[in-house]
Amino acid sequence: MIMQIILQPVLFQPDKDIISTLENTLSEEFNASIVTASPIKEISDQLFDKQRKQWKSNDILQWLLYIYKPSKSTKILAICDFDAYSGHLNFVFGEAYVEGSISAIYLPRLRQEFYGLKPDESLFYQRIVKEAVHELGHGFGLNHCKNIKCVMHFSNSLSDTDIKSNYFCIVCKGLI
């Protein structure tokens, strides 16, 4: 069975370099066919927490699951250029259901500018790839890895993300 990964931009049109980078990396890492969907231009404001001024990641995943109803051979990666949180966490870089078909990455906190620092496009792209591979890894059944260099290691901060590689360690790769 050939696996398909759908890149689903939400509320924005990512530049071609982001899409190209993700398509190349994800097709290689997951041995999957990659399709980029047209951006979703509108989502319910019920998915937004007005008090926190953040989107509710878990609700977005549920909403995407309802819209797509993906088969077992399809994984959806939402690419969102807005800030989100989940449960007790103040924010998330991404979220996915373990062994599920839906995942999302959230770009604002992956940018240096979010923290008042000088933009670094190369670092930003590295972070996008790491978060995308990590969240899709959950979709393929992987849990967090203790190896700090493995892309499946939990990131509590950007320094955790920056230490990781873009790829699975040998143990995690063997589990996919």
- Cite the active site residues: 135
Spatial separation of the C-alpha atoms in residues 85 and 118, rounded to whole Å? 25
Q: Which helix (H) or strand (E) holds 84?
A: strand 84-85
Count Cα neighbours of 123 within 13 Å in the Cβ-side half-sphere.
14
C-alpha angle 139/109/46, rounded to 5°? 70
For residue 27 the two structure tokens come to: 């097709």
Which residues are registered as beta bridge partners of 34? 5
Spatial separation of the C-alpha atoms in residues 99 and 170, rounded to whole Å? 19
Contact 163, 169 (CB under 8 A): no
Please give the C-alpha separations between residue 174 and each of 102, 137, 167, in angstroms, as whole numbers.
22, 12, 12
Contact 94, 85 (CB under 8 A): no
